[in-house]
Amino acid sequence: MSVAALPAAVRVIVRSWVNANHVVFLGSGPAALIDAGHVCGADETLERVGDALGERPLARLLLTHCHSDHMGGCARVRARFGCRIAVPEGDVAAIRAWDTEALWLDYAGQMAEPFPVDDVIRPGERLELGNLEWDVIPAPGHDMGAVVFWNPSARILISGDALWEQGFGIVLPGEGWRDRFAAARDCLHRLRALRPLVVIPGHGQPFADANSAIDRCLARIDVFERDEPRLARHALQVMVAYSLMQHDGLAEPEALRRFAAVPMFVEYAREYFGQPPYDVVSELLKSLLAKGAVTRGTDGLLRAR
């Protein structure tokens, strides 16, 4: 099966970076949605998911995992469509407690709106979505509670942030980081063994060559596992880019002031760089500007590309 030949009941809405992709399940049963996008992209989410649904009600919203770009828009989606929200078992406690450190929110300078958990998604269970059966497979690493959804008959994998065509969601340094990488590596081997024909990732276009993508991920793990400070630097760069996207640009002094006060930046500056957070952020912005990952607009604002 080619990427173009996904079943008609499975609609993929590919978003730009600060929002995760959506997968809408139609067919004759109740309609469902995987991943809600970021709160700052919620207007577009409601419009595009609404277009895909047409007149159908949305019964369920399921999450691959609980980071701001996947769950930040849940409250808005629920308010519009009246759907139940299902959260992977491993993330339920953090959502119910609205643990902003575990969810990488205030701790990492990210935003989301709280929402209720109606149902729990349990690894090992089988769900029917879009008239197809989907196995829930645990996918720890980037988020230790994450799951992916696997349809064995058409060999379709909905991979969240466990596997993209060019990489995977960041694994944070700090206590337990080697265990997180071991889990991510093990997960990639398990996903390879499924031999997917199509992967629908949390970010980027659906793709067919899972093997090459998995090879690229494993190579990145090898690099980061040798160098925790490099991993810390990469994590901060990702958070800078995400913060700039969710604010739709910030003036440089404002960006420096904000990021230097984010707990994750303060902690990493101390642990990995032995420098004041302001200096670390200033150097990070300089290097992101130099490589074009961040640009300065004609309005003077910094934006991530």
Q: Which residues contact residue 79 at a Cβ distance below 8 angstroms, ignoring those fewer than 6 apart?
A: none
Count of other CB atoms within 10 angstroms of residue 243: 20
| Shortest Cβ 169–Zn ion spacing (Å) | 4
Query: Is the Cβ of residue 90 or residue 169 nearer to Zn ion in the bound state?
Result: 169
- Binding of Zn ion by 161 (CB under 5 A): yes
| Shortest Cβ 170–Zn ion spacing (Å) | 8
Q: Interacting stretch for Zn ion, rule CB under 5 A, among 34-42, 106-114, 168-176, 276-284?
A: 168-176
The residue type found at 51 is: D
The residue type found at 93 is: A
Query: Is the Cβ of residue 110 or residue 151 nearer to Zn ion in the bound state?
Result: 110
Q: Which of 71, 62, 125 is nearest to 95 (CA)?
A: 71
Query: Is the Cβ of residue 14 or residue 197 nearer to Zn ion in the bound state?
Result: 14
Of the CA atoms within 13 Å of residue 89, those in its CB half-sphere come to 10
Enumerate the β-bridge partners of residue 249.
Answer: none
| Shortest Cβ 167–Zn ion spacing (Å) | 12
- Binding of Zn ion by 67 (CB under 5 A): yes
Q: Which of 114, 174, 109, 184 is nearest to 143 (CA)?
A: 184
Q: Are strands 302-304 and 294-296 parallel, antiparallel or unpaired?
A: antiparallel
| Shortest Cβ 105–Zn ion spacing (Å) | 12
Rounded distance, CA 4 to CA 178, Å? 38
Q: Are 159 and 148 in contact (CB under 8 A)?
A: yes
| Shortest Cβ 155–Zn ion spacing (Å) | 24
Token pair belonging to 125: 């269970």
Q: Interacting stretch for Zn ion, rule CB under 5 A, among 31-39, 78-86, 116-124, 153-161?
A: 153-161
Q: Are 86 and 62 in contact (CB under 8 A)?
A: yes
Rounded distance, CA 147 to CA 13, Å? 19
| Shortest Cβ 67–Zn ion spacing (Å) | 3
Q: Interacting stretch for Zn ion, rule CB under 5 A, among 25-33, 47-55, 62-70, 213-221?
A: 62-70
| Shortest Cβ 69–Zn ion spacing (Å) | 6
Q: Are strands 31-34 and 58-62 parallel, antiparallel or unpaired?
A: parallel
Residues that bind Zn ion (rule: CB under 5 A) add up to a total of: 3
Query: Is the Cβ of residue 12 or residue 26 nearer to Zn ion in the bound state?
Result: 12
Among 169, 196, 206, 249, binds Zn ion (CB under 5 A): 169
Q: Interacting stretch for Zn ion, rule CB under 5 A, among 30-38, 157-165, 244-252, 280-288?
A: 157-165
- Binding of Zn ion by 91 (CB under 5 A): no
Query: Is the Cβ of residue 67 or residue 78 nearer to Zn ion in the bound state?
Result: 67
Q: Are 59 and 92 in contact (CB under 8 A)?
A: no
Binding site for Zn ion (CB under 5 A): 67, 161, 169
